[in-house]
Structure 1
Amino acid sequence: MDLMELIFILLGAAICVYYGWKLLLFSRMLFPKRCFPLSETFFTSMGDWAVVTGASEGIGRAYAFALAERGMNVVIMSRTKATLDLLAKEIGEATGQKVKVIVADFSCDNTFREIEEQLMDLNIGVLVNNVGVLPSIIPCKFLDTEKLEKTITMVINCNVKTMMKMCKVVLPDMEKRRKGLIVNISSGISTFPFPLYTLYAASKVFVERFSRCLQAEYESKGIIIQAVVPFGVSTRMAGYQKTNMVTLSPEDFVKTSMQYLRAGDKTHGSICHTALGWLMQCIPLKVLHSEFLLQHMQYYVKKKMTKKQLMSAKTAPSENRKH
């Protein structure tokens, strides 16, 4: 056996071992309750309170309910007081847990001092950084973004700065107590360069990398920090798409994502989204970034949103007549 033959054999063996290990890791995702078990007191053992940003609807609302159902008092944060008050009443009546409302506009720069003061005396065990903003549902090139300067500031404040500031608020006490859980909501489009949603995608890459770096720094302190990277979830930001095997309701997504809290510093939150993430990474970027595909995607989203607006316009008069 010559040297080149030996090199190819070793290379082939290394590739088999690598993909065998990846397959083993993937197979664990099929059985989260067995592979990543959580005790009944897992959440309450972290602390008395859970804090959820962007809690008024969608994924944030689902997390607030789910954490209260698991015995935690919850702090819900958003900029719409009426919606938060109604949600607080619903959670309180359904679970019997305490609910604290904090009205905050995360697009502003001067909101965090007041938040820190209101959270100061709470024993916070869980933080869910969910608040985020998508500049436009309809994809467009960076320079075509409406009110670009204002949008840049808004995306950085909501999607990036808020997450870091909230981690800064809760981490010191978690470090002292040597326990805590931080969940930072990223996005599936952070897994590869995603044109036409450039600002949003780039901000979600930051969320994912920041979370994983922070976990490496504080894992030895007993703190779990995880980036959750979903693809399709039927929320207002996603245009309330119909739910199916890939597009989950916020409640179903949160339910499955909680089963993977011990699965590592990054998870897609469901087996379907994990498989989709692997599939997307196998597609060459030249295909994903082709002008044909980008134009088709832009046309498809525009057509779908126009159709939805027309349907809303048709149903509105009939609804008014009923009243």
Structure 2
Amino acid sequence: MDFMELFFISLGTGVVVYYGVRLLLFSRMLFPKLWFPLPKTFFTSMGEWAVVTGSSEGIGRAFAFALAQRGMNIVVMSRTKAKLDQVAKEIGEATGQRVKVIVTDFTKENIFSEIEEQLKDLNIGVLGELLFVPPYKIQFQKKMACCTITKVINCNVKTMAKCCLIIYICLYVYCIYRGKGMILNVSSGIASIPFPLYTLYAASKVFVERFSQGLQAEYKDKGIIIQSVAPFGVSTRLAGFQKTNMITFSPEDFVKYSLQYVSAGDKTNGSICHTVLGWLLQTIPLKILYAEPMMQGSQDYVKRKLIVGAKLTSTKSCVCGHF
């Protein structure tokens, strides 16, 4: 057997092994209950309280409900007190769990000492962070650009890192006794590639992923799960309340699926459909995504969805009085 024949046999074997391993990993995502089983007491064994930021609506609200249904007391955090009070009332009535409300605006400066003071005496086991500033195309006007950058960085980067630090200190105290804890940071599927029109938002979510993965590597031996969750389509106000289908989930369904993967690694897309979408997105040549017709179509689509979301929010406010 000559060198070239040996080379191609080795190369072929390597390719088969590589894709075989990827197929095996994919099959694990198909059967989370088999590969990543969670005992009924999994979440309550983490601690008494779960802190959920951005929990007045959408995915954050769904996480708060889901964790309460699993036996945890909940701290809900957002900037609108009326919405938080309503969520707290609904969670309490539906689950019987205690709910603590903390009103704060994560786009602002110097808010963390007060948050830390209100959390310091709680036996916290889980932090779920959904921090979201709507995606914008960066404007050329200096004042508008600086305002947008500050809001996105404060909310999606600074607050996420600060809250992780505050909660980690709480977790560490109790981990001495129980050796468990969990932090779930919600990223976004569009962070998979450089994404035009969502440039600043997508970049901030890349920070969420890398920060979470780095922390998991550092503190895994302490018994703390730190995971980045990167969803694609979820029907929320900021997504224009798109109709749900096999790709676009309701917040409740997405949270139900994603909680099955909390022990699946330092990053997950939260569902098998969104995992496939992530793989497909990374295979599309960037020249296609960056073509002017594609970018213009994407921009028009985003504008339409934001307008629809604003109208629906206004309508629900009139009907419900608290949305």
Q: Same fold (TM over 0.5)?
A: yes
| Offset at residue 299 of structure 1 (A) | 3.0
Q: Which amino acid aligns with 2:223?
A: G
Q: Counterpart in 2 of 1:6?
A: 6
Q: Secondary structure at the match of 2:128?
A: strand
2:27 alignment partner AA: S
Aligned to 1:264: 265
Give the secondary-structure state (helix, strand or coil) at the position aligned to 1:101: strand
Instruction: Tell me the amino acid that sits aligned with residue 203 of structure 1.
Output: S
In terms of mean alpha carbon deviation, does 6-15 or 26-35 score higher?
A: 6-15
Where does residue 148 of structure 1 map in the other structure? 145
Q: Which runs of 5+ in 1 are unaligned?
A: none
Instruction: Indicate which of 164, 167, 171 corresponds to 1:167.
Output: 164
TM-score of the two chains, using structure 1 as the length reference: 0.92
The CA RMSD over aligned residues, in Å, is 2.2
Task: Tell me, yes or no, if the aligned pair for 1:127 and 1:183 is still in contact at 8 Å.
Answer: yes
Instruction: Look up the SS of the partner of 1:76 in the other structure.
Output: strand
After superposition, the Cα gap between the structure-2 partners of 1:29 and 1:294, relative to the gap in structure 1 and judged at 3 Å, is same
2:84 counterpart residue number: 84
Q: 1:157 aligns with which of 146, 154, 178?
A: 154
* CA distance in structure 2 between the partners assigned to 1:46 and 1:310 by the alignment: 40
Aligned partner of 1:204 in structure 2 is 205
Q: Which stretch shows the higher mean deviation, 202-211 or 290-299?
A: 290-299
CA shift, 1:146, in A, is 8.1
1:74 to 1:312, Cα distance in 2 relative to 1, 3 A? closer
The aligned counterpart of 1:75 is 75
Counterpart Cα distance in 2 of 1:236 and 1:13: 49
Q: By how many angstroms is 1:307 displaced?
A: 7.0
Give a deviation string over 1:238-269, Cα, whole Å, max 9, x none: 11111111110000000000000011000000
Matching residue of 1:63? 63
Q: Which range moved further: 78-87 or 300-309?
A: 300-309
Q: 2:237 touches 2:310 (CA, 8 Å); kept in 1?
A: no
Query: For residues 20-169 of structure 1, what are the structure 2 equivalents within 5 Å?
Result: 20-136=20-136, 140-141=137-138, 143=140, 147-169=144-166
Structure-2 change in CA distance of 1:89 and 1:24 (3 Å):
same
Q: CA deviation at 1:304?
A: 5.5
Q: How far apart, in 1, do the equivalents of 2:307 and 2:107 lie?
A: 28
How far has the Cα of 1:147 moved from its partner?
1.5
Alignment-derived partner of residue 240 in structure 2: 239
Deviations 1:275-296 (A, max 9, x none): 1111111111122122221122
Change (3 A) 1:310 1:202: closer
Q: Which residue of structure 2 aligns with residue 298 of structure 1? A: 299
Amino acid at match of 1:55: S
The answer to whether the 8 A contact 1:56-1:76 is kept is yes
Deviation (angstroms), 1:142: 5.2
Q: Does 238-247 or 58-67 show the bigger shift?
A: 238-247
AA partner of residue 94 (structure 2)? A
Alpha-carbon deviation of 1:173? Answer: 3.3
C-alpha separation in 1, matches of 2:257 and 2:4:
48
- Shifted more, 52-61 versus 301-310: the winner is 301-310
Contact 2:239 2:309 in 1 (8 A): no
Aligned partners of 1:56 and 1:87 also within 8 Å: yes
Residues 253 and 269, structure 1, Cα contact 8 Å, conserved in 2 = yes
- Shifted more, 160-169 versus 301-310: the winner is 301-310
Conserved? CA contact 2:73–2:99, under 8 Å: yes
- Measured in 2, the distance between the counterparts of 1:125 and 1:265 equals 17
The count of aligned residue pairs is 314
Q: Secondary structure at the match of 1:45?
A: helix
CA shift for structure 1 position 172: 2.3
Q: Is the 8 A contact 1:141 1:195 kept in 2?
A: no
